Amino acid sequence: MKLTGESCHVSWSEARGIQEIRSAQFEASSYDSDVDVIRGSCEVTETLDLTFSTGLSPFVDELGGYGSDLYEQLSFFEIPLADDGASDGGVWFGWQNRYELEAVKIVAPDWEVVIDEASENQVRLKLIPGSPSASQVALHRYSGLRDKPKLETLGLGEALLFGMWAPFRALCQLIWSALVSLHLVSGSWGLAIILLALLVRIFTIPVTKISMDYQRKAIEQQARMAPKVEELKRTATGIELSEKMVALYEDESYDHLAPFKGMLGLFIQIPILIALFSVIGEMSVLRDQAFLWISDLSLSDRLFGLGVDLPFFGGYFNLLPWMMALTTILSTWVAGLTTDAEISTGSLYGMALLFFVFFYSFPAALVLYWFASNFFQMLQQLAEYYLKR
């Protein structure tokens, strides 16, 4: 990060009332909690204008496909800190990409810090003195990985999951904490993700069971009604057909909402999946973490390169999406074992195809979670099927 000119130090003119100047060259990935890196003692009534710029740029994964493009960003943040004894107060501001963060904290108790203009890589600040008496201005700098424990120690924890809706951010933080705890137990981030999928499945068993019951009901009543509807269509038309169809559905106690009620389990999983997508994009610790054939859980699994960059899909053959699609098909097929009705081809392959396309270039950690979740659901369905036989 640079302050004003090309150098990485501060210097204010004697004409502006500077009594003391201390400056220091910033070191990469450094932070000194005991020494103010830069301090100026000022006795002025004039506003100070400062301009900071960052050397960070968005993380670009050229052959990663759509899933990597979603994380290709550089964002600005501002975090006010309370002067509560544990902290000396001040304001953190800076930039972050997917893996790294660069920030400066301004501690100026007698000054008002106002962001005049902020852009993708530069911010202009105004420091407005609160009184003409001598006052201190201190600057701290951090540049390094977005390491959650370290950032929280520095008062930069709010930069992670920044700007999210509070309830959704709480869900993300819960998932993050669960992953960290499971990693401590298993010693592997890949296993931690699989264990998270298992725990979510266990906690949602009651809802999943209700959802599966409604799925069976939807399939059964559709199979029961199909021949009767066809018979009506052969014998009636127009308004008469409509009236008889309504009467038939009432006589058969047809539940029109059964197909939607059968998606209750999915409706619960989707917010968790979106939260996990957000968390994985914030967890720099996943970078270069290997699991089985996967060399980096924060990127797609990349079994081998395709030699060509396909629009949307990227330039790699990813195995996990194929495995995920297969378990989705098997899970749908198993769900129909307890009924006498046949599963339609559209039901069997439609959802699998949708998730395959959507997830193909997503981070391996996310696809691994959904694969494991589908696999555990399939095991649950098989267990229930054989227990009822």
Does residue 303 contact residue 321 with C-beta atoms inside 8 Å? no
Q: What is the pLDDT of residues 83-117, one digit of tens each?
A: 655 555 678 888 999 898 888 888 777 778 887 77
User: Could you tell me which residue, 183 or 150, shows the higher pLDDT?
Assistant: 183
Per-residue pLDDT, averaged over 306-333, amounts to 89
**pLDDT given at position 223:** 73
Q: Name the average pLDDT for the chain.
A: 76
Task: Check whether 31 has a pLDDT greater than 60.
Answer: no
Task: Check whether 58 has a pLDDT greater than 60.
Answer: yes
Q: Provide the token pair at 237.
A: 């038309």
Task: Check whether 267 has a pLDDT greater than 80.
Answer: no
Task: Check whether 256 has a pLDDT greater than 60.
Answer: yes
Rounded Cα–Cα distance for residues 368 and 5 (Å): 47
**pLDDT given at position 262:** 62
Per-residue pLDDT, averaged over 208-224, amounts to 71
Task: Check whether 78 has a pLDDT greater than 70.
Answer: yes
Does residue 38 contact residue 26 with C-beta atoms inside 8 Å? no
Task: Check whether 42 has a pLDDT greater than 80.
Answer: no
pTM: 0.76
**pLDDT given at position 291:** 93
The dihedral through the CA atoms of 276, 278, 284, 290 has a sign that is: positive
Q: Cα 44 to chain center, whole Å?
A: 46
- CA dist list (Å): 236 to 141, 243, 244, 249, 251: 79, 10, 8, 16, 18
**pLDDT given at position 320:** 94
Rounded Cα–Cα distance for residues 237 and 241 (Å): 5
Per-residue pLDDT, averaged over 223-227, amounts to 76
Does residue 330 contact residue 210 with C-beta atoms inside 8 Å? no
**pLDDT given at position 6:** 27
Task: Check whether 365 has a pLDDT greater than 50.
Answer: yes
| Cβ contacts of 309 within 8 Å, gap of 6 or more | 62, 63, 315
Read off the pLDDT band of 44 (50, 70, 90): very low
> Using alpha carbons only, how large is the chain's radius of gyration in Å?
29
**pLDDT given at position 137:** 67
**pLDDT given at position 2:** 44
Per-residue pLDDT, averaged over 55-69, amounts to 87
Q: What is the pLDDT of residues 161-200, one digit of tens each?
A: 988 888 889 999 999 999 999 999 999 999 999 999 999 8
Rounded Cα–Cα distance for residues 214 and 377 (Å): 16
Q: Provide the token pair at 208.
A: 């999943």
Which of 73-77, 133-137, 312-316 bottoms out in mean pLDDT, i.e. has the lowest? Answer: 133-137
Q: Residue holding tokens 């990349």?
A: 302
Q: What is the pLDDT of residues 347-362, one digit of tens each?
A: 567 778 888 998 999 9
Residue type, 232: L
Percent of all residues in the chain with a pLDDT value above 70, rounded to a whole number: 75
Read off the pLDDT band of 22 (50, 70, 90): very low
**pLDDT given at position 265:** 63
